[in-house]
Amino acid sequence: MASPLADLDELVLKCRDEKAKKYIKEAVNCYKSGAFRSAIVSTWIAVTFDLIDKFKELSALGDKEAEKQVEEIEKARRINDISRFLQLEREIIDVARDKLELISHTESIDLERLQEDRNRCAHPSMNLEGDIFNPSAELARLHISSAVNHLLQYPPSQGKYALDQLFLDIESNYFPSSKKDILLALKSSPLIKPRHSLLRNFMVILIKKLLVPK
């Protein structure tokens, strides 16, 4: 009988960004050696790098909110504003969910738990009782799995921006008309590896447009 647990090495291969893949591989190695605190910290670093790189990709494509986020990050880096860096890191999950729609509400809950556990692992002062936080193997494995399955495997265009771009392409005069060329065009779009929410929203709007033509 096949194990219901995801193979951690396969999760590493799913990562889209090489920087995030490097840190997730490090997290998996820490997990295998029993260093569960280090595994959680490395997983959070992978998530942070991945989100910042996604912001940059969307900014390059013309997403105004992504441009704003990248400007904030670059400004903090130029003046070495550590407190601002920490604030941006604290808010990064909210930004990804609410402003860029890169993750769903449910996915953000899991990633916020990762962020909280990372803080408990990396900042002993957060444990008021003075006890060392000893995460279990199951918890570390869950965080690695959540990071890859909710975020690291996906391209940046998954929210409203992706949906708008899809319909701009489809309604363009240059969109192909033959089935073969349409499939080729869609394979280079966010639909090549969509979240369920993107696919569902795309189909709903497409059906409405077909049923209620202009």
Give pTM, 2 decimals.
Answer: 0.75
Q: What pLDDT, on a 0 to 100 scale, did the predictor assign at position 28?
A: 96
On whether both 130 and 197 belong to a single domain, the answer is no
Residue finishing a domain among 133, 152, 171:
152
Is 28 within the bounds of a domain? Answer: yes
pLDDT (average), residues 110-136: 82
Which residue range forms the structural domain that includes residue 87? Answer: 8-152
pLDDT above 80 (res 128): no
Closest CA to 39 of 62, 8, 76, 10: 8
What the block records as the tokens of 180 is: 């073969």
On whether both 139 and 181 belong to a single domain, the answer is no
On whether both 68 and 113 belong to a single domain, the answer is yes
Q: What pLDDT, on a 0 to 100 scale, did the predictor assign at position 158?
A: 57
User: Which letter does DSSP use for residue 6 in this model?
Assistant: P
Contact at 8 Å (CB) between 144 and 113?
A: no
The CA angle 128-129-134, to the nearest 5 degrees, is 100
On whether both 79 and 24 belong to a single domain, the answer is yes
Contact at 8 Å (CB) between 120 and 127?
A: yes
On whether both 29 and 62 belong to a single domain, the answer is yes
Is 58 within the bounds of a domain? Answer: yes
Per-residue pLDDT of 57-98, as tens digits, reads 888 877 888 899 999 999 999 999 999 989 999 999 999 998
With cut-offs at 50, 70 and 90, classify the pLDDT of residue 1.
very low
On whether both 63 and 33 belong to a single domain, the answer is yes
Using CA atoms, how far apart are residues 197 and 214, in angstroms rounded to an integer? 25
pLDDT (average), residues 118-146: 83
On whether both 112 and 48 belong to a single domain, the answer is yes
Q: H helices of 61-178, where?
A: 64-78, 82-94, 105-122, 137-147, 160-170
Q: What pLDDT, on a 0 to 100 scale, did the predictor assign at position 160?
A: 67
On whether both 45 and 89 belong to a single domain, the answer is yes
Q: For the chain, first and last CA: distance in Å?
A: 54
Using CA atoms, how far apart are residues 36 and 1, in angstroms rounded to an integer? 27
Is 197 within the bounds of a domain? Answer: yes
Q: Which residue has the higher pLDDT, 120 or 188?
A: 120
Task: Tell me how many domains the chain contains.
Answer: 2
Residue finishing a domain among 103, 135, 152:
152
Q: What pLDDT, on a 0 to 100 scale, did the predictor assign at position 169?
A: 79
Is 203 within the bounds of a domain? Answer: yes
On whether both 74 and 25 belong to a single domain, the answer is yes
Using CA atoms, how far apart are residues 24 and 3, in angstroms rounded to an integer? 21
Diameter of the chain by CA atoms? 67
Per-residue pLDDT of 151-172, as tens digits, reads 999 887 656 667 777 777 788 8
On whether both 100 and 173 belong to a single domain, the answer is no
Is 3 within the bounds of a domain? Answer: no
Residue finishing a domain among 152, 172, 187:
152
With cut-offs at 50, 70 and 90, classify the pLDDT of residue 2.
very low
Which residues lie closer than 8 Å to 39 by C-beta, 6 or more apart?
Answer: 27, 28, 30, 31, 140, 143, 144
Is 1 within the bounds of a domain? Answer: no
On whether both 81 and 164 belong to a single domain, the answer is no
Q: Which residue has the higher pLDDT, 214 or 89?
A: 89
User: Of all helices (H) and strands (E), which one includes residue 29?
Assistant: helix 18-32
Is 2 within the bounds of a domain? Answer: no
Is 188 within the bounds of a domain? Answer: yes
